[in-house]
Chain A
Amino acid sequence: MAQEQAIPSIGPAAPEFALPHRPGVLRNVLKFIRRKPLGALGFFFVLFMIAMTLGTPKAEFGVPELPHSPLGFKLGQPWLAPYGEEQNFKNANGRLNTDAAPSTKHWLGTDGSGRDNWTRVVWGARRSMFIGLWALALATAIGTVIGVISGYFRGWFDTAVQRLLDALQSFPPLLTLILILSITPFTSQPSLLVVAFALGFVGIPQVQRIVRGVVLSTREQQYVEAARVIGATDTRTMSFYILPNIMASVIVVFSTGLGVVILAEAALAFIVPQFVPQEGASWGLDLGRAQREGVDTHTWPVIAYAGAIALAVLGFNLAGDALRDVLDPRLRVG
């Protein structure tokens, strides 16, 4: 840098471009924090949760498998987890150190089996997060396709689809989930991917309703009309003119839906533990186990897992609201 500046310029001075002042990333972030402090708090929780899921990847490739191989390669121990997932601790007497209060060794205490709560929370974050991502990927993909087609063609197809999905949507989601999971084939317990797909299926109506609403207004835009005039086919209009222009809404739906799905998974594991895999750390499962065994003895695990679920869901809600206000004010309700 210093050398470049030292070279004297020869000839007429380069014309100075009067670029409008473009604020840097940092300044944008600061502005966002000042304007939407609660949204920024939400983003902090979300980023922290993402950080909890990260671990050193291992060179083991294969079919995606939740929770530790969500993208086809295996993730190692999370960087933020000080101990292993199932590591038990003993106290000075040689017995299991159960339900200990927080200390420097165990930041959030230990659970009923002498495992470190903070470690379990970090390991469980990966499970919640990737179930949420997989479910939402399915829900947004199918929901967007249905929403775009239904909103674009309107007519009898739209009416039929909307009535059907209205019926699905007004239905208590937890009951739908229980119904789906009680007919899905699994021997003793379903794999997490099955749970994720069931959750995603339940989310389709919500996603498609929002997407359809946006498509209904987008399809009346002049550029869509122009596309039709120059002879673009319906498929082309939908995929190259409408879809790119509703992406902001889709992103917002994705981020708000993530919180809902994470919560639904935790609630499902909490009340019907048999419908999710029993191995590994899971916020909903561990919370349910601790509550059933008695909150008065398992105070610290309850606080740790309930707090983790509460902060994660709160974070996704706040972040989603702020993101919606910034990216797509059209979706604002209430």
Chain B
Amino acid sequence: MQQYIIRRMLLNGVVLLLVATMVFAALRVDSNQVVNRFAAGCFHQGEDTQQCKDVAKNLLGLDESIPKQYVDFMKNTLTLDFGKTFSEKKPVLHEITSRAAPSIELGLLQIVVALLVGVPVGVISAIRQDKWIDYILRFVAIFFLGIPVFIIAVFVILLTTRYAGGTGLDQWLGPGSDWKDIWEDPVKNLQRVTGPALVGGLGTGAVLMRFLRSQMLEVMRQDYVRTAWAKGLRERVVIVRHALKNAMIPVLTVIGLLLGAVISGNVILETQYNIPGIGFFVTSAALQGDFPVIQGIVLVVAVMLVFINLLVDIAYGWLDPRIRYS
């Protein structure tokens, strides 16, 4: 186990190195392009374009030779120094971490909603296979799987702001204006995140439900489940203790894989619901041509994803001792 973790860490290191190199190369393909796009923004604000270009080049370290740039870039990335933003010349890492709280909250809430909805629905749909309730649940799941989350969000926003004004529903599900962190004003904060958390969570929950259903169907046909039935255990005990516990193990890996999708989805949902998180930050940076921010967020997300996947793998082996890490 220890050996496995060490080897995975090394492999992850290589992957991160590759990602960092790709990001490094990406900028150097045509760096004038990035600089010019930022300078165009300067021009609109009436600042000196040439000065802007010099500042941007300096911030990206483009004055040096390529090998020196590469060494510097890697050194900075290792020490989590992602440079300074174009627009306000503040450290990128600080700008990202100061916006992390809403994103993490939204992501976690989505996973919670997905589990709360996906697990019971998946179980019910599996133990009542081919009954009418199974068909209804599966149809709803196909609906949520097939229709993109941001379209569902658009419809929810439309219905709540146009047709549910004054009922309180619009405050809970519609996009609000000002953001309060959860430790400042829990009620107001929850009002803001309920909508996106529900919409995004249901989208993720549909994937979870479909996967859990097929896992449950497989587990329910195992010998030990038949034994449990034969012993005369109550249905609840058989389903929850014997079947669900074992069916959940592969589902765990899906949750790990879904995190990438959750982050991607949050970029859209945060923009739609005006939540000042990392997703909102990256889209506004894209609009302003603020390349250091995009680069920094890409690297941070890569590091996060690699470690989350490692954690999922370890948890997987811990839950299912049959898996050998050789």
* Chain A residues close to B by CB (< 8 Å): 38, 163-164, 166-167, 170-176, 178-186, 188, 263, 266-267, 270-272, 274-275, 287, 291, 295-296, 299, 302-303, 306, 309-310, 313-314, 317-318, 334
Overall SS of chain B's interface? helix
Q: Are B210 and A334 in contact, CB atoms less than 8 angstroms apart?
A: yes
User: Given contacts A291-B157, A295-B158, A306-B154, are A174 and B146 in contact (CB under 8 A)?
Assistant: no
State how many angstroms separate the Cβ of B213 from the closest Cβ of chain A.
8
The answer on a CB contact under 8 Å between B161 and A313 is no
Q: Is B148 an interface residue (CB 8 A)?
A: yes
Contacts of B295 in A (CB 8 A): 179
- Given A175-B297, A182-B294, 8 additional A-B pairs, CB 8 A: A179-B294, A180-B26, A182-B37, A183-B291, A185-B30, A267-B150, A271-B271, A295-B158
Interface 0/1 of B202-216, CB less than 8 Å to A: 000000001101100
CB of A161 to closest CB in B, whole Å = 12
- Tell me if B118 is interfacial: C-beta within 8 Å of chain A: no
Whether B11 and A310, one on each chain, are in contact in the complex, defined by CB atoms closer than 8 angstroms, is no
Are B147 and A313 interface neighbours, CB within 8 A? Answer: yes
Interface residues of B in 260-281 (CB under 8 A from A): 260-261, 263-264, 267-268, 271-272
Residues of A contacting B282 in the complex (Cβ-Cβ under 8 angstroms): 175, 178
A-B pairs with beta carbons under 8 A, tally: 130
Residue on B nearest A172 in the bound complex, by CB: B264
Render B55-80 as a binary contact track against A, CB cut-off 8 A, 1 for contact: 00000000000000000000000000
Q: How far is the CA of A291 from the CA of B153 in the complex (A)?
A: 11
Interface segment among B90-98, B125-133, B237-245, B301-309: the answer is B301-309
Q: Using known A-B contacts A164-B18, A314-B146, determine if residue A299 contacts B158 with beta carbons closer than 8 Å.
A: yes
A299: chain B residues at CB < 8 Å are: 158, 162
* Max chain B Cβ within 10 angstroms of own Cβ: one of A173, A266, A295: A295
Interface residues of B in 278-303 (CB under 8 A from A): 282-283, 286-287, 289, 291, 294-295, 297-298, 301-302
Interface of A is mostly: helix
B264 to chain A, nearest CB (A): 4
Instruction: Decide yes or no whether B151 CB sits under 8 A from chain A.
Output: yes
B314 at interface, CB cutoff 8 A: no
**Interchain CB contact under 8 A, B34 and A182:** yes
A310 contacts B301, C-beta separation under 8 Å: no
The answer to whether B146 and A175 have CB atoms under 8 Å apart is no
With A179-B23, A306-B151 as contacts: A185 and B158 at CB distance below 8 Å? no
Shortest distance in angstroms between A293's beta carbon and chain B's nearest beta carbon? 13
Smallest Cβ-Cβ distance to A316: which chain B residue: B146
Nearest-neighbour CB distance to chain B for A42, whole angstroms, equals: 9
Q: How far is the CA of A172 from the CA of B302 in the complex (A)?
A: 9
- Asked if residues A183 and B147 are in contact (CB atoms below 8 Å), the reply is no
Say whether B29 faces chain A, with CB atoms less than 8 Å apart.
Answer: yes
Q: Tell me the minimal C-beta distance from A253 to chain B in angstroms.
A: 18
Complex Cα spacing A267 to B268, Å: 7
Q: Are A313 and B146 in contact (CB under 8 A)?
A: yes
Residues A175 and B155 in contact, CB atoms below 8 Å apart: no
Tell me, in angstroms, the Cα distance from A174 to B145 when the chains sit together. 18
User: Pick the contact of B263 from A172, A180, A188 — CB < 8 Å?
Assistant: A172
Measured CB to CB, the closest approach of chain B to A174, in angstroms, equals 5
B101 to chain A: which residues have CB within 8 Å? Answer: none
* B252 → chain A closest CB, angstroms: 15
Q: Please, could you name 13 A-B residue pairs with CB atoms under 8 Å apart, sorted by A?
A: A163-B11, A172-B260, A172-B261, A178-B286, A179-B295, A180-B26, A270-B268, A272-B286, A272-B287, A274-B287, A295-B157, A313-B146, A318-B146
CA distance in complex: A306, B297 (Å): 29
Chain A residues positioned under 8 Å from B291 (CB to CB): 182-183
Q: How far is the CA of A185 from the CA of B151 in the complex (A)?
A: 30
Contact B147 A314 (CB under 8 A): yes
Smallest CB separation, A33 vs chain B (Å): 17
Q: Complex: how many Å from CA A303 to CA B26?
A: 38
Is the Cβ of B148 less than 8 Å from the Cβ of A291? Answer: no
Bound form: Cα–Cα A180–B295 in Å: 11
Q: Complex: how many Å from CA A181 to CA B34?
A: 10
Given known pairs A175-B297, A179-B26, A182-B289, the reply for A291 and B272 (CB within 8 Å) is yes
Question: Do A163 and B154 touch across chains, with their CB atoms under 8 A apart?
Answer: no
Chain A residue at smallest Cβ distance from B287: A274
A23 to B122, CA, bound (A): 39
Residues of A within 8 A of B27 (CB): 183
